[in-house]
Amino acid sequence: MPLAPAHLRYLLVQQGFVPALFNFLLNSGLAWLGHRGQTAVSLTGSAGRAAVWAPGVLLPLLTCLIVVPLVRKDLEAGRIAPLTGARWLALALPSALLPRAVLVTALAFLVLVLPCWSALGIAEVKAWPMPGFAWLMGGYCAVLAAVVTPLVAWRTLLEPARA
């Protein structure tokens, strides 16, 4: 069953584009602030893994913990109607918030973070020059947000009405 225009707008704009833009600005700013005195940022060793893995774990986890209550609030206020159909998604992701957040984080890590890390390794990238690293981190986090946030919101829209 195709999504109604209101649901498409909600998922693609409010839960896709807006979070992606926000995360691009936030994470490129944080990367710049954290490394502004360096000419390049090392991507090797534990510091390099932390630079790529930390946002890849924290962003999906925090997204789920923040977005689920906000979407539930939108549902309760009538700003968006619940979805029907797509039961496969409801079955795939738990209804309880914390298990859902952990599963979404694990899936994002396996599907998005590890391939990005592997691509950097295959390309033998040892360091990334500044300010390009700030742009890279902003883009990386924007893509994570653009994929994870609509998925989390979509699953939440499938929840039965709360009393």
What is the chain's alpha carbon radius of gyration, rounded to the nearest angstrom?
17
> What is the predicted pLDDT for the residue at 161?
67
pLDDT of residue 143: 95
**Residues 162, 80: contact at Cβ < 8 Å?**
no
Nearest Cα to Cα of residue 153 among 113, 93, 99: 93
Residue with tokens 């946030």: 149
pLDDT of 90 strictly over 80: no
Range scoring the smallest mean pLDDT among 15-19, 68-72, 111-115, 146-150? 111-115
Q: What is the pLDDT of residue 73?
A: 95
